[in-house]
Amino acid sequence: KKVWLNGEILDAGSARISVFDRGFLFGDGIYEVMARIGGRFFYEKAHLKRLDTCLQKIKIDFDTRILTKEIPKLLQASDLFENDCLLYIQVSRGVAPRKHAFPHDIPPTVMMYVTPKILPDINSVNASVSIMNDFRWSRCDIKTTSLLGNVMANESAVQQGCYEMLFLRDDIVTEASHCNVFFVKDGTVYTHPANELILDGITRQVVLELCSQLNFEVREEGISKQRIPQMDEAFLTGTSTQIASIKQIDQHIYYTGDEIGEVTKALQHAFLALKNKE
Active-site residue numbers? 143
Closest residue by Cα to residue 228 from 185, 176, 274: 185
Looking at beta carbons only, is 28 or 164 nearer to ligand PLP? 164
Minimum CB separation of residue 136 from ligand PLP in Å reads 9
Looking at beta carbons only, is 94 or 178 nearer to ligand PLP? 178
Q: Please give the residue whose beta carbon sits closest to ligand PLP in the complex.
A: 201
**Residues at the site binding ligand PLP, with contacts judged by CB under 6 A:** 150, 175, 178-180, 199, 201-204, 237-239
Helix axes 202-213, 262-277, angle to 10 degrees: 110
| CA atoms within a 13 Å half-sphere pointing along the CA-CB vector of 205 | 13
| CA atoms within a 13 Å half-sphere pointing along the CA-CB vector of 67 | 23
What is the distance, to the nearest Å, from the Cα of residue 176 to the centroid of all Cα atoms in its chain?
10
**Nearest-angstrom CA–CA distance, 29 and 110:** 10
Looking at beta carbons only, is 52 or 95 nearer to ligand PLP? 52
Minimum CB separation of residue 12 from ligand PLP in Å reads 22
Minimum CB separation of residue 82 from ligand PLP in Å reads 23
246 near 236, Cβ under 8 Å? Answer: yes
Looking at beta carbons only, is 21 or 134 nearer to ligand PLP? 134
Q: Which amino acid is at 220?
A: E
Minimum CB separation of residue 13 from ligand PLP in Å reads 27
- Helix (H/G/I), strand (E/B), else coil: 46: helix
Looking at beta carbons only, is 17 or 147 nearer to ligand PLP? 147
55 near 62, Cβ under 8 Å? Answer: yes
Enumerate residues 6+ apart whose C-beta is below 8 A from 205: 46
Minimum CB separation of residue 240 from ligand PLP in Å reads 7
Q: Please give the C-alpha separations between residue 44 and each of 29, 33, 88, 194, 214, in angstroms, as whole numbers.
A: 20, 10, 12, 20, 23
